[in-house]
Structure 1
Amino acid sequence: MNVPIKTPSEIEKMREAGRQAVSVFEMITPHIQAGVSTGEIDRLCHEYIVNELGSTPAPLNYHGYTHATCISLNHVVCHGFPDFNKKLKNGDIMNLDVTVKTPDGYHGDSSMMFIIGENIQGERLCRITQECLYKSIALVKPGVRLSELARAIQKHAEGHGYSVVRDFCGHGIGAGFHEEPQILHYDGYAPEADITLEAGMCFTIEPMINVGGYKTKVLRDGWTAVTKDKSLSAQWEHTLLVTDTGVEVLTARSDEDFSFLTN
């Protein structure tokens, strides 16, 4: 398996890509409220990425995908299509997945959850899913195997009665939107794929956690993945850099506290 090791120059380009992705969330968060359509959210993100950042929304035209972002509501696991006819309502939970490609050609990829109004079950799911992400990030350092990250996610999710989606995973990232390695969020690595982390690797961790069973299906549009049992699903994602001593979260937002990281 050929896992790219980023050079110091490439790492700086990845940092900039991460900063740009974060700025999209800072821009769009005030707009996410009941009555706003997911199509409008996507439009605002698209215009900001192109006009303000001078970059490109990486999902647009990627293998035929027709939008700048992925917006997944409630039982949609991932790759939901933004829709001007789909307005947010009280009780919805929403994942916004943003990937920016900078003029230098490097990618910053992140997603986060939004709760519209009140949804006690959704709030708990979103919190535990974010904890799954953080517990795996805390383990990232040279010498750690990918399966250790996966087991941490699965243990925490299943310990709270949830399930971990198997059909989609994280990925290496850099000049390519999707690079090696694949980052599973459950303990399912074949021995040859369970690589040991090295400084300079960049990848995403993006656990998708369901209230019900882990099985998913893709709708006839060829993209939208939903839970088979129509239970709620949540996802959080960060782009990470393995450093000499641990990890750098390239898409860390100002509302997050990573003081638990020891490096």
Structure 2
Amino acid sequence: MVEIKTPEQIAKMREAGLVVARIHEACRAAAVPGATTKDLDDIARKVLAEHGAKSNFLGYGGFPATICTSVNDVVVHGIPDTTTVLRDGDIISIDAGAVIEGWHGDAALTVFVGGGHAPELLELSRVTEESMWAGIAAVKQGNRLVDISKAIEGYIRRQPRPSGGKYGIIQDYGGHGIGSEMHMDPHLLNYVDRKRGRGPRLVPGFCIAIEPMVSLGTPRTHVLADEWTVKTDDGSWSSHWEHSVALTEEGPLVLTAFDGGRAKLAEYGITTAPDPCAGS
């Protein structure tokens, strides 16, 4: 069953989403050579406390931290610690969430640590982020869930890699419904699987976390002994981007973007819904 939200519930999700955006803003600034991933987790805890929000990651299925910090060939679910020290040239996915009055926000971004990154890595992150926005642009009344998957995969497949070959669209992980829980139906693949059918129709009140994960090599992954950390099988580096999105009667609203997605969606000719937290 897909949970359909009221405008009032979406407004609460927007509040949570703005806290997530503030976590990302603070962690991006702190992701410098010499910082540990635990340093970033401490910053996220502080931002949550400052805004009266709770973590939806801490304790989820036993997860021991406030955010996920996934460095280089770690795709998702990396656990912050004091021994993982960021180095010049690293890339890191920072996945964060927040809960306000029982309503959830969830988003991720890829951050470049220091400088001197190869064009291949810069393009990997760009392709991953832009595929996310292509998926967000497909959040329209009358579309089906598969239309989001089709938009994400189609964008990635059309992009040439600077060194040749194809990007790996991670197979075992994807987006998800979000609302009164962090992970809900429906599961969103970042590629089209015809065996799954077209999925539910998108209607006002539908909320989804869209999160493509793309590698420079294989789409296949494995989980480490900590039962959380997901790495690519071939050690290729990966990028991860995510936003939570609500579909309203007036159009889409990107709940975890400061501007509600207005600037990026304008590139697609899409007007975003009014922001219930405008001015906050």
Instruction: Pick the TM interval, shorter chain.
Output: over 0.9
Instruction: State the partner residue of 1:260.
Output: 267
Residues 1:32 and 2:59 are matched in the alignment: no
- Tell me how far 1:61 sits from its aligned partner: 0.6
CA deviation string 1:79-118 (max 9, x = no partner): 001111111111101000000011x111111111101122
Instruction: State the partner residue of 1:92.
Output: 90
CA deviation string 1:110-153 (max 9, x = no partner): 11110112212211100110111011111111111111211221
Q: What is the alpha-carbon distance in structure 1 between the residues aligned to residue 10 and residue 260 of structure 2?
A: 23
TM-score when normalising by structure 1: 0.94
CA contact (8 A) 1:35 1:87 kept: yes
Instruction: State the partner residue of 2:108.
Output: 111
What SS is found at the alignment partner of 1:48? Answer: helix
CA contact (8 A) 2:77 2:228 kept: yes
CA contact (8 A) 1:19 1:250 kept: yes
2:58 counterpart (60, 85, 102): 60
- Tell me how far 1:183 sits from its aligned partner: 1.1
Structure 2 unaligned spans of 5+? 160-165, 272-280
- Tell me how far 1:207 sits from its aligned partner: 0.3
Residues 1:185 and 2:190 are matched in the alignment: yes
CA contact (8 A) 1:115 1:122 kept: no
- Tell me how far 1:172 sits from its aligned partner: 0.7
Instruction: State the partner residue of 1:242.
Output: 247
Q: What is the alpha-carbon distance in structure 2 between the residues aligned to residue 241 and residue 147 of structure 1?
A: 16
What SS is found at the alignment partner of 1:43? Answer: helix
Residues 1:133 and 2:132 are matched in the alignment: yes
- Aligned CA distance change for structure 1 residues 230 and 39 (closer, same or farther; 3 Å): same
CA deviation string 1:22-64 (max 9, x = no partner): 11122222211111011111111112212x0121111101111
Which piece of structure 1 moves more, 26-35 or 11-20? Answer: 26-35
What SS is found at the alignment partner of 2:214? Answer: strand
The number of residue pairs the alignment matches comes to 260
- Aligned CA distance change for structure 1 residues 238 and 216 (closer, same or farther; 3 Å): same
